[in-house]
Amino acid sequence: MPIDPQEWLQNSAPLSFDRVEEESTPSEDEADAESVASTIALRKLAARGRTRYELDQALQAKNVPPSVKDAVLDRMQEVGLVDDASFAADWVASRQQRRHLSRRALRRELDAKGVERSDIDSALNDVDLDSELTTARDLVERKRATMSGLARDVQYRRLAGILGRRGFDTAVTVQVLNELFGPVSGERHT
């Protein structure tokens, strides 16, 4: 049964590495270091889901010894608090829906968060060309509403820039904008 990070934090006292006493035995130091590392990781997880890599970086920034850091992260993975595959799937669903990001942008974000390539590929399986086109169309419709007073060619250029910055492929951008505007005069878009 997974541990609820919020509940665990409420029931435990805050710890810090400064509290490790000089007279304590090595096993007590390690036990205290593990509890401090667990507290740090659980506080990070209480805010939002994290990848193992993100937690590793947070513990490293707090100078947690590597053996303690690995033990804590392994234990959290065992109990289900850290699961990069489910994190990636949730991230893709959320970011594509709310931020209207392309498959390429989602891959880049997950890669930066330290998710393994196989987990990224599996999370992106549902993002096919049709869903990318739908996402791009939704984004264009939402952004176009703010550009009603602008000339058609200006709207086209700005929307193309928005789609490009969100990581959409040129073919997707051209297809969506041609559906909306038709080919821009003087230029051929296929």
Same domain, 14 and 64: yes
The rounded mean pLDDT for the chain is 84
Q: How many CB atoms lie within 10 A of CB 62?
A: 14
Dist CA 28 CA 179 (whole Å): 67
| pTM of the full structure | 0.71
Per-residue pLDDT of the chain (190 residues; tens, 9 = 90+): 455 666 655 665 454 444 444 444 445 666 688 889 999 999 999 999 999 999 999 999 999 999 999 999 999 999 999 999 999 999 998 988 888 889 999 999 999 999 999 999 999 998 888 889 999 999 999 999 999 889 999 999 999 999 999 999 999 999 999 999 887 665 554 4
Longest CA pairwise span in the chain (Å): 81
Q: Domains in the chain: how many in total? A: 3
Same domain, 50 and 64: yes
Same domain, 9 and 69: yes
Is 145 domain-assigned? yes
The DSSP line for 70-91 is HHHHHHHHHTTS--HHHHHHHH
Same domain, 88 and 67: no
Is 71 domain-assigned? yes
Same domain, 27 and 58: yes
- The residue range of the domain holding 102 is 84-123
Same domain, 49 and 101: no
110: CB partners within 8 A, 6+ apart: 88, 91, 92, 119, 120, 123
Residue-wise pLDDT tens digits, 95-136 = 888 888 899 999 999 999 999 999 999 999 988 888 899 999
